[in-house]
Amino acid sequence: MEGQLEHETNILGQPVGAPVPDWMPRNLPPREKLAGRFCRVEPLDAGQHAQSLYEADQLDRDGASWTYLAYGPFATFPHYLEWAAASQASQDPLFFAIVDQATDTAVGIASYLRIDPNNGVIEIGHLHFSPLLQRTPAATEALFLLMDQVFQMGYRRLEWKCNALNAASFRAAQRLGLTFEGIFRQATVVKGRNRDTAWYSAIDSEWPALRRAFVRWLDPGNFGPDGTQIEALSALTSPLQKDFR
């Protein structure tokens, strides 16, 4: 049955997890630049990125893009600069700026967090995409670059979590080919409100097929002269998702 957990049986007749031969803890992700065709993902530098990020965020007039994050929107640039400087210094979450290759302008934020090298698990989160990045090929490419690095480093599991009421994040996780695992009820309190958290994941055995889907979608041949996609990423990834319901 699809979604059935892989296991073996021990000498007592009990089901036990499959062996992970020669497992060794993985390295921490490096503070390095990842370059693609549409964007670069580079370690957040408040002095270099904060001004352009703040200006790009101001295009979100009503601040709706901040609703499901634990911080923001920021009323003034000094407040945002203070947050960016503190985020730059953080090791976990490890923050990155997403830079548009065409304009050389930082237009979004992403991070690795809950980094667990001993078990080979890492989460991508703290995503904040300005209107200049939302629904662009660069947005998808940035996430692909981060996901690809996780599995290239030998991590076993990539996690994506979001507020269970955040429909846009649900759609994004599904489009990326991540598998829905369930909802943790009353997981946290964010901005004084309850947050039920939805969990998604991809694991190392699934990544080769997902990676091929991303590479196919990002290929220049998949975009028309006006930049419009020809084949949707969701059409490539949806057959690869598991069902654990």
Domain holding 108: CATH number? 3.40.630.30
Domain membership of residue 160 as a residue range: 27-240
Examine residue 19 and state whether it is found in any structural domain, yes or no: no
18 assigned to some structural domain: no
**What is the mean pLDDT of the segment spanning 64-84?**
97
Kindly state whether residue 56 falls inside one of the protein's structural domains: yes
Cβ-contact 182, 200 below 8 angstroms: no
117 in a structural domain? yes
Within a domain: 21: no
Residue 157's DSSP bridge partners are 121, 203
* Domain-located, residue 1: no
Judge whether residue 9 has pLDDT over 80: yes
pLDDT tens per residue, range 210-243: 999 999 999 999 999 998 999 999 999 999 887 7
**20 falls within a domain:** no
pLDDT (0 to 100) of residue 1: 41
Instruction: Report yes or no: 197 and 231 within 8 Å, Cβ to Cβ.
Output: no
32-46: pLDDT as tens digits: 999 999 999 999 999
Q: Kindly indicate the confidence band of residue 5, based on its pLDDT and cuts at 50, 70 and 90.
A: confident
Other C-beta atoms lying within 10 Å of the C-beta of residue 188 = 13
pLDDT, tens digit (0-9, with 9 covering 90-100), for 82-134 = 999 999 999 999 999 999 999 999 999 999 999 999 999 999 999 999 999 99
Answer for the pair 141, 101: CB distance below 8 angstroms, yes or no.
Answer: no
Pairing of strands 121-129, 105-116: antiparallel
- For the entire predicted model, the pTM comes to 0.94
239: exposed, middle or buried (C-beta count within 10 Å: 0-12, 13-18, 19+)? exposed
Quick: pLDDT tens for 159-216.
999 999 999 999 999 999 999 999 999 999 999 999 999 999 999 999 999 999 999 9
**Residue among 183, 181, 182 at smallest CA distance from 195:** 183
Q: What is the number of structural domains in the chain?
A: 1
Q: Fill in the amino acid letter for 104.
A: D
Q: For 223, which DSSP code? A: B
Directed axis angle between helix 207-218 and helix 137-152, to 10°? 150
pLDDT of the residue at 172? 96
